[in-house]
Amino acid sequence: MTENSTGSGEPSRTLALLWGEPTEAPRRKGPARSVTVPQVVDAALLLADEQGLAAVTMRAVAEKVGVSAMSVYTYVPGKPELLDLMVDTCYFRMTRKPWGRLGWRKRLVAVADANRELLSGHPWLTEVAALSRPPLGPGVMAKYEHELAAFDDTGLSEVDIDAGLAYLLGFVQSHCRSAHDAARSTTDTAMSDAEWWGANQAVLARVFDAEAYPRAVRIGSAAGEAQGSAWAADHAWKFGLARTLDGLAALIGDDASA
Amino acid sequence: MTENSTGSGEPSRTLALLWGEPTEAPRRKGPARSVTVPQVVDAALLLADEQGLAAVTMRAVAEKVGVSAMSVYTYVPGKPELLDLMVDTCYFRMTRKPWGRLGWRKRLVAVADANRELLSGHPWLTEVAALSRPPLGPGVMAKYEHELAAFDDTGLSEVDIDAGLAYLLGFVQSHCRSAHDAARSTTDTAMSDAEWWGANQAVLARVFDAEAYPRAVRIGSAAGEAQGSAWAADHAWKFGLARTLDGLAALIGDDASA
DNA sequence: GCCGTACACCGTACAATGTACAACGTAAAT
DNA sequence: ATTTACGTTGTACATTGTACGGTGTACGGC
């Protein structure tokens, strides 16, 4: 195990798990299973949401569902597959309202907002979810289908729709990852931005040639002061989303926006 | 240790390390140090570049520089700080040509290309480098200053320049992260895209309702076939970069591009 | 010249992780 | 009643970051 990467292991076994094992012969030989796969996944999700991805250990999940550590392996082939299931489950539970008569721009804003909300509720997703080659479960498929539909009336080619959606989601994921670990660095060091700046200022003053970095000093402090750190994330969001939509508008041709 | 997060520990100590310890009294009491901090960092960089971030263990670094595992801690407070040093060193070594008379669009393309090249040469950077609150070392500062200068004649406000740069870099990082772990998933499973698809097709055919996901099937296979997987990354790059620049152009006002 | 002290270095040890392995028990199939 | 397949579990191992204490070295003050 090298990393928290998703999507390793025997693929067909993983797929069967993701889709709920439809080949399940209802009667088996041995003793009855004491829990279910969704219970295991839910336990892992609870741990990740409440205490972060690092708290998702096989032993912790096992204890949460009330079995021994090794029993988890009878439900799930290993930790990477468990992560796949967690991701797909999160995707599956997103609410998906039909698009109705909204223009493409409002649709894409809705896609972005929904993904931002998802990643705010499950920050660990930014550390785990791969944009490319995700686990092909029902959640991923439903999400993909629904978000593709947001591009229905844009007139883009199929390849461009795929690329455009990936681009939009890439922005959201990148933003949320930054916002998330900015929030975490102020949280789990128990050190406010002001304190951190104060602690470093002494060293910086001794070592730092302000004349060598005029723009960095000017713009960095301007950006730093203007943004109360909590507000900063919101500003970056509005800025980035507007840029992203304008960039796509240049490709689509803005007929009926607003 | 929870994660490969950068930037923990006593901040002033880290800063002094980053800036090469200018308070260094040249003569000390005990025996001479057998190696130097840059040697330690270079060893770690070599490991990361050649065998991935997971190969950067304190023991491996120690062996590479020829000391015992615990001796590394006399050069570096801990692993997070070592990662900070690695990141800052990579940034510091980027080539920075003065911008001359290029228009803003070409400048931003150059910024994006340079960062893409950086992240291609050091893929582990996408797993470690935080866009927000990076280690304030000389490399980070020089890079920041140089890239801010690319916005010099755009007429943007200071806050917008900062946001615009972050937006551009966010795209590059997001793209390279996807490209990198797409490449890795075809590499380290020893399974080509074709094999992977073949292995999954049987299960998917049994479980998958093609009528439920018309767009996903159509667009997904269109995008999949059109892209020979190696070509896909390049296409996504060109697409995304064009969108990003168009998005910024909508803010800047395109006077003299090309 | 001598010695105390500060510091570099190192071996050992510990807690946490994913998971391989084998023993044990249970319930359906024969 | 015996076989057989499978769920459950305890133990064990390799790997990680790093805390701790011991050992030796070289400089500063006498």
What does the pLDDT look like over A5-14, one tens digit per residue?
665 556 778 8
Higher pLDDT, A144 or B188: A144
Residue B182 tokens read as 């797409």
Long-range contact pairs involving B106-113 (C-beta distance under 8 Å, separation at least 24): B107/B150, B107/B151, B108/B150, B108/B151, B108/B168, B108/B245, B108/B248, B109/B241, B109/B245, B110/B150, B111/B147, B111/B150, B111/B165, B111/B168, B111/B169, B112/B168, B112/B171, B112/B172, B112/B241, B112/B244
Q: How far is the C-alpha of A155 from the C-alpha of B199, rounded, in Å?
A: 34
pLDDT at B2 (0 to 100): 43
Does position A250 have pLDDT exceeding 50, yes or no? Answer: yes
Q: Which of B251, B233, B108, B243 is nearest to A252 (CA)?
A: B243
Does position B103 have pLDDT exceeding 50, yes or no? Answer: yes
Higher pLDDT, B173 or A132: B173
Containing H/E element for A142?
Answer: helix A138-149
Residue A194 — very low, low, confident or very high, per pLDDT cuts 50/70/90?
low
In a domain, B149, yes or no: yes
Residues B135 and B241 in one domain: yes
Q: Where does residue B141 rank: exposed (0-12), middle (13-18), buried (19+ CB within 10 A)?
A: buried
Question: Residue A154 is part of a domain; what is its CATH number?
Answer: 1.10.357.10
In a domain, B2, yes or no: no
State percent of chain B over pLDDT 70. Answer: 83
Chain B residues within an 8 Å CB radius of A15? 200, 203-204, 207
Q: What residue spans of chain B are helical by DSSP H?
A: 11-18, 37-51, 58-65, 79-93, 104-121, 125-128, 138-149, 158-187, 193-207, 214-226, 230-252
- Residue B170 has its nearest CB partner, among A152, A174, A207, at A174
Q: How far is the C-alpha of A134 from the C-alpha of A84, rounded, in Å?
A: 8
In a domain, A3, yes or no: no
Of A173-187, B62-76, B190-204, which one has max mean pLDDT? B62-76
Residues A116 and A211 in one domain: yes
pLDDT at B43 (0 to 100): 98
Does position B221 have pLDDT exceeding 70, yes or no? Answer: yes
Interface test with B, best of A13, A15, A208, A237 (most B CBs within 10 A): A15
Q: Which of A91, A106, A137 is the last residue of a domain?
A: A91
**For A95-109, B95-109, B183-197, B225-239, which range has the lowest pLDDT when averaged over its residues?**
B183-197
Residue B22 — very low, low, confident or very high, per pLDDT cuts 50/70/90?
low
In a domain, A126, yes or no: yes
Q: How far is the C-alpha of A1 from the C-alpha of B174, rounded, in Å?
A: 24
Q: How far is the C-alpha of B47 from the C-alpha of B161, rounded, in Å?
A: 36
The predicted model gives A163-175 an average pLDDT of 97
Residues A110 and A190 in one domain: yes
Residues B229 and B184 in one domain: yes
Mean pLDDT of chain A: 87
> Phi first, then psi: what are they for B209, rounded to 5°?
-95, 100
Higher pLDDT, A20 or A58: A58
Q: How far is the C-alpha of B92 from the C-alpha of B136, rounded, in Å?
A: 12
Evaluate whether A48 touches B239 at the Cβ level (below 8 Å).
no
Higher pLDDT, B203 or A188: B203
Residue B14 — very low, low, confident or very high, per pLDDT cuts 50/70/90?
confident
Does position B70 have pLDDT exceeding 50, yes or no? Answer: yes
Q: Is B239–A15 a contact, with Cβ atoms under 8 angstroms apart? A: no
Residue type, B116: R
pLDDT at B210 (0 to 100): 83
Residues A83 and A190 in one domain: no
User: Nearest nucleotide (C1') to the CA of residue B1?
Assistant: D17
In whole angstroms, what separates CA A125 from the centre of its chain?
Answer: 4
Q: Which of A147, A185, A196, A111 is nearest to B80 (CA)?
A: A185
State percent of chain A over pLDDT 90. Answer: 62
Residues B52 and B172 in one domain: no
Residues B151 and B105 in one domain: yes
pLDDT at A1 (0 to 100): 40
In a domain, B3, yes or no: no
Does position B26 have pLDDT exceeding 70, yes or no? Answer: no
Does position B34 have pLDDT exceeding 70, yes or no? Answer: yes
pLDDT at A257 (0 to 100): 47
Chain A contact for B23, CB < 8 A? yes
Residue B5 — very low, low, confident or very high, per pLDDT cuts 50/70/90?
low
The predicted model gives A226-242 an average pLDDT of 83
pLDDT at A185 (0 to 100): 73
Region for B106 from its dihedrals, namely left if φ exceeds 0, alpha if ψ lies in -120 to 50, beta otherwise = alpha
The predicted model gives B68-94 an average pLDDT of 97
pLDDT at A146 (0 to 100): 98
pLDDT at A168 (0 to 100): 98
Of A9-13, A48-52, A224-228, B152-156, which one has max mean pLDDT? A48-52
- From the Cβ of A32, is strand C under 7 Å away? yes
Q: Which residue of B has its CA nearest to A187?
A: B8
pLDDT at A258 (0 to 100): 44
The predicted model gives B146-158 an average pLDDT of 95
Residues A118 and A244 in one domain: yes
The predicted model gives A114-133 an average pLDDT of 92
In a domain, A112, yes or no: yes
Domain encompassing residue B65: 11-21+31-91
Residues A129 and A228 in one domain: yes
Question: Residue A56 is part of a domain; what is its CATH number?
Answer: 1.10.10.60
User: Nearest nucleotide (C1') to the CA of residue B71?
Assistant: C9
Higher pLDDT, B236 or A206: B236
- Residue A200 has its nearest CB partner, among B136, B171, B199, at B136
In a domain, B209, yes or no: yes
Residues A216 and A110 in one domain: yes
pLDDT at A188 (0 to 100): 64
Residues B244 and B192 in one domain: yes
Q: How far is the C-alpha of A72 from the C-alpha of B26, rounded, in Å?
A: 57
Long-range contact pairs involving B225-232 (C-beta distance under 8 Å, separation at least 24): B226/A159, B227/A159, B229/B182, B229/B186, B229/B193, B232/B182
Q: Which of A41, A71, A91 is the last residue of a domain?
A: A91
In a domain, A43, yes or no: yes
End-to-end CA distance of chain B: give it in Å, rounded: 49
Residues B80 and B122 in one domain: no
SS3 B194: helix
Q: Which of A91, A113, A135 is the last residue of a domain?
A: A91
Number of domains in chain B: 2
